Structure 1
Amino acid sequence: MNKGKKTIIGTGVIFGTMAAISSVIAVSKKLKKNKEQSFLESIEYTTGKVRNFGTLYLDNEKQKRPKDFIEFKDIPEYKGQKIKINDTDKNEEYMLTWVEVNDDNKKLLICDRNILKGMSWNELNEQNLIFGKVVIIEGKKYILRLLTGYSEKKNYKANEWDKYIVNTDKIDSLPICKDCDMSNSTKQQDEKQKLNGDSNKLWNWYNFSSFTQSEGLRREKFCIIRGFYSITYSNQSIKDLKYETVGYRPVLELIE
């Protein structure tokens, strides 16, 4: 009787061990599948798709993603810190959001908003953030830089701001600008249409300009800023000056 009982207990242990091993194998397969899926997502770009990726650090302090698109009070302010974009934080509040662009195998992540204010173009350039430097995020190499931004309306050469943000090529998966988006009118009715339009909901260009890597044609001390009154708005800014309403909108270009 006791012998039979011992045999039953032994069998239970064997089955329990087998179940535990099976569970470990299942978890291992799931983790492997998730890793493979993450890898595929990191190299497959679909134009217009929004991706949570990377976290902004000023010195060693991570920054929350700004969400105030009316008064822009929550945009981190630059005070001479080292600007870095590191691996994605686990807390969604610290994740940056980007718009994927796959343009003839050029794969870009364009930030959907300005993530820093209070710095000059020259200060960004001192950290190699204007024309680009190689960074590694989540194990992949990118060129971290700004968009080009000459205004086609002023007969300047074609550029990335007009191509992707304004969407002059009318790419199906990106918002098509309406007349009000391209008007510099400050009428209240027009302002509401701009603020709530599809283009601004994706790119957040209204009432806050972005530095671009393009420099003024007349004098070297000027740079080109884009966005504010309209999506097509373009102006020349002195490189040494800091503005409360001109920000840092980074771009990540995948290196394959």
Structure 2
Amino acid sequence: MDSLLATRQHQLLAYLLGENSIISEHIVSQGNISIMTRLEIYRNAYQIRLKKTIETDHEILGLYLGDALFDEMVEGYLNNHVSHYTSLRQFADSLPHYLATTSPFIDYPIISELAAFERLLLTAFDAADIQRMTPEYLTTVPTEQWPSLHLTFHPSMQIFSAHWNTVEIWQALKACKTPPAANTTQALWIIWRNNERLTEFHSLSPEEHQLIHLALQGKPLAAMCDALLANHPAENTSQLIVDYLLSWIERGVLAYNN
């Protein structure tokens, strides 16, 4: 019985995806609506649900593209990407890659990067939660243990590397303002969900990014201080690393080691 049910489910899914299917032979007639009409209504509802998911996940991308291009994007994505997840949350995960490799969107890299930024915002918002570090914790760390201290970042923390003025365009559209023209740039951003469960992002200096990168590699605080020595006097590094730690704690991006 379970095997037969699985077969029928696969046949129905094949129909929903526009493939040849014999599922119509196993649908019971009911009322004045034909079997094929009922199946088509179901398939249309399925497609509408997937489109609505992309619209919800990528509201600002939709504003940037306009209705015609957004509909073209959605139709192309639906035709080329089958959902392999039971949750709709991951359905559009491949959208940035699709936009970066598919005409006409491939000619405008800002579009795929804007989609990637919105995916990271979603990832940060949906990330698991663990106990965040407090400033008081630093006072409990013995002095001799500071050099070997390893940092753990909150699961919501993401790093976004921008090659275009993507974030500035996103911010303008979010504020219902005319976005600036797309321009190439090199910028790094940290994205996270704060203590109030709101998603935030903040630009990163090369130095701050280097320190975070070292921490993510599992390097201790001593290695981060060594990196600061390349650009700062030795007597300043201790205060600088404490300032960075306090700023990360205040933002809510540091967590306790498990």
Q: TM-score by structure 2 length?
A: 0.28
Looking at secondary structure, tell me which structure has more strand per residue: 1
Greater relative contact order, per chain length (Cα 8 Å cut-off, separation 6+): 1
Looking at secondary structure, tell me which structure has more helix per residue: 2
